[in-house]
Amino acid sequence: MSETNNKDLSGKVALITGAARNMGRAFAVALASRGASIVVHYHSDASVTDAEETARLVKDAGGQTLLVQGDLAVPANAESIFANAKSAFGRIDIVINNAGLVIKKPIMECSEEDFDRSFGINAKAAFFVMQQAARCIEDGGRVISMGTSLLGAFTPMYGVYAGSKAPLEDFSRALAKEIGGRGVTVNTVAPGPIDTPFFHGEENEQSVAYLKAASVTGRLGEIEDIVPTINFLTAAESQWITGQTIFVNGGFVTR
């Protein structure tokens, strides 16, 4: 993957869902450092302080920013967020579908509420964000959805999580065909286990040790391991890559 130009995204606008912390925050800062203005989405009042910190870091990186809040499992909220972004900046060039929820339970123990929450944010919300992206994004834009390397794994306990992330691949492939004629690329990035609070909230010492051992270097991934793929997919040089699922996991799984 080639180096991106220092300010190759000047004049561009990126909307990132779930950008209050973890990978979403890192993506926001990375794109801001390349000149993009950033729309920072966060889910609820519980994450407003973190979202404000992301906005501060974006400004420190040289980018303009807009904070938007909403439960994306409600399609009207996705529509409103995109409308606010267009009103503030006049355009949207990059959409990173990053908001997500992880539930780790045996299928026998998953409740209807677990199922609805997981599919609500990981599948339904992602679908309607992609729908709004298709309607609003500029020609030559980029749509990236964050999946999971569990799509290539044969493992218990993650059925409702991996199952609710699986549709992203088909959404991306279909949308890539539907709007590709406008020069818009649509891809899914599938990280492996990443050393963040999002990951550790569902794991224990034994499972972390197992997942570390599954990589070729015996460690968990870091957010910094994922950022270069996002940088590449949002660069002009990635134009010929669309409709793909890109696994970024240190050899955790292949497919």
Active site residues: 161
Cβ neighbours around 134 below 10 Å, total: 17
Burial label for 138, CB within 10 Å (0-12, 13-18, 19+), is: middle
Cα–Cα distance, 99 to 42 (Å, whole number):
8
- Any idea which residue has 């990589």 for tokens? 215
Nearest to 72 by CA among 143, 15, 142, 128: 128
- Any idea which residue has 């009103």 for tokens? 87
Cβ neighbours around 75 below 10 Å, total: 15
